[in-house]
Amino acid sequence: MEIIQKSTLNELAKEVFKIEADSIMKLQNRINDNLEEAVEKIISSKGRVIVTGMGKSGLIGRKIAATLSSTGTPAYFLHPAESTHGDSGIITREDVVIAISNSGETTELLNLLPLIKRFEVPLIVLAGNKNSTLGKCADIYFDISVEKEACPLGKAPTASTTATLAMGDALAVCLLKQRGFSTEDFLLYHPSGALGKGILYMIKDLMLKDKALLPIAHENDTFIETVDMISKKKLGCALVVNDKNELTGLITDGDIRRILLRYPDVSILSTKTVMTKNPKTISANDMAAKALALMEKHSITSLAVCDENNSPIGLIHIHDLLKAGVA
């Protein structure tokens, strides 16, 4: 292994700083009506900002979503690979999607385009190629291309991810200013202000507990009956119980799609044969932050709330946590 002199390492580090700083400064010349349009589109929407990206772009996307959420713009990161297995259900017609891809050709993001276009969800794209598939499909496009990466090999995303993060920060700050987000508001969203009191919420404060609205199915119900119930309840899932009213399974919108692809004749299926057994649950007396941690860990968007007998008494969804400022 070649030993590099200290002075050479210092110069290399300084070159990285220069390349990345130059990449950010060149973004100034790419700001035009697209920024104003993006701010207006997000503020006028009734939903949230769904940020998505793969790999390093995904890591930057998570940070952008976190910054947006903490500065008054509800945002959620959607992993594009997980989205094709049911998580795309988090996108509603009232949301705005921010898709991040340096190439603009990331397969997992392209798989989301049919849903985005079908729902007519505004699509904001941060990419390095306007003529890419994502670039052409964008309603609003931000050019985050760089002349070169700071990586000597020119392979590892370095300057490009820094530029993307800076563009996301610029958008978040403009949204903050446009909303009139104050110091007091900021404190409410952070630990010194108890995360907008969100950290104090318990599951029982936020969960859906109206028995008439809870999507509960029986193991012996047919699959078709359960799908019909899910459609009527409009919560995207069914809590499955046995004769003792114990929770034994779960069926989600994503499960339904997979079942329809797997079985040529679903009319003969019972709910018990296709449900996801032993689903994740939470207690009504747990903190709401625990529900968020479970959802993030297992890449799910809802949890059954059960009593000491494992009987479902409620349902907590990521939307409930978002509205309360917990997520």
pLDDT in tens, 37-55: 999 999 999 999 999 999 9
Band of residue 90 on the pLDDT scale cut at 50, 70, 90: confident
Residue 294 three-state SS:
helix
Amino acid of residue 317? H
**Separation of alpha carbons 172 and 61, rounded Å:** 12
Query: What tokens were used for 266?
Result: 């679903």
Mark whether 138 and 241 lie in a shared domain.
no
**Separation of alpha carbons 125 and 136, rounded Å:** 9
For residue 198, being part of any structural domain is answered with no
* Confidence (pLDDT) at 39: 96
* Confidence (pLDDT) at 305: 97
Burial 149-163 (b: 16+ CB within 10 A, else e): bbeeeeeebbbbbbb
Instruction: Give me the residues paired with residue 77 across strands.
Output: 51
Residue 84 three-state SS:
coil
Task: Report the CATH number that the domain containing residue 122 is assigned in CATH.
Answer: 3.40.50.10490
Task: Tell me which DSSP letter residue 54 carries.
Answer: -
Task: Report the CATH number that the domain containing residue 286 is assigned in CATH.
Answer: 3.10.580.10
Mark whether 254 and 175 lie in a shared domain.
no
Tell me the average pLDDT across 213-240: 94
pLDDT in tens, 117-138: 999 999 999 999 999 999 999 9
For residue 46, being part of any structural domain is answered with yes
For residue 113, being part of any structural domain is answered with yes
Examine the fold and report which residue of 117, 147, 181 is the final residue of a domain before the chain moves on: 181
Sheet containing strand 281-282, edge to edge, reads 281-282, 302-306, 312-317
Band of residue 304 on the pLDDT scale cut at 50, 70, 90: very high
Q: What is the CA radius of gyration of the chain?
A: 23
Tell me the average pLDDT across 265-277: 94
Mark whether 155 and 248 lie in a shared domain.
no
**Total domains present in the chain:** 2
The model's pTM: 0.56
**Separation of alpha carbons 258 and 263, rounded Å:** 9
For residue 225, being part of any structural domain is answered with yes
- If you search the block for the tokens 């993060």, which residue do you land on? 165
**Separation of alpha carbons 238 and 236, rounded Å:** 7
* Confidence (pLDDT) at 183: 58
pLDDT in tens, 165-214: 999 999 999 999 998 876 555 655 554 444 445 556 889 999 999 989 99
**Separation of alpha carbons 60 and 168, rounded Å:** 9
Instruction: Give me the residues paired with residue 126 across strands.
Output: 100, 142
**Separation of alpha carbons 176 and 318, rounded Å:** 23
In the predicted structure, residue 57 carries a pLDDT above the cut 70: yes
Mark whether 102 and 209 lie in a shared domain.
no
Q: How far apart are the first and last CA of the chain?
A: 47
* Confidence (pLDDT) at 2: 59
Mark whether 146 and 232 lie in a shared domain.
no
Tell me the average pLDDT across 2-21: 82
Band of residue 274 on the pLDDT scale cut at 50, 70, 90: very high
Residues of the chain with pLDDT > 70, as a percent, come to: 90
* Confidence (pLDDT) at 322: 85
Mark whether 173 and 217 lie in a shared domain.
no
Mark whether 165 and 289 lie in a shared domain.
no
Does residue 79 or residue 183 have the better pLDDT?
Answer: 79
Cα dihedral: 185, 186, 187, 192 (round 10): 150
Burial class for 100, CB neighbours closer than 10 Å (0-12, 13-18, 19+): buried
* Confidence (pLDDT) at 193: 44
* Confidence (pLDDT) at 185: 59
**Separation of alpha carbons 119 and 92, rounded Å:** 7
For residue 269, being part of any structural domain is answered with yes
In the predicted structure, residue 4 carries a pLDDT above the cut 80: no
Residues spanned by the domain of 298: 203-324
Examine the fold and report which residue of 149, 181, 213 is the final residue of a domain before the chain moves on: 181
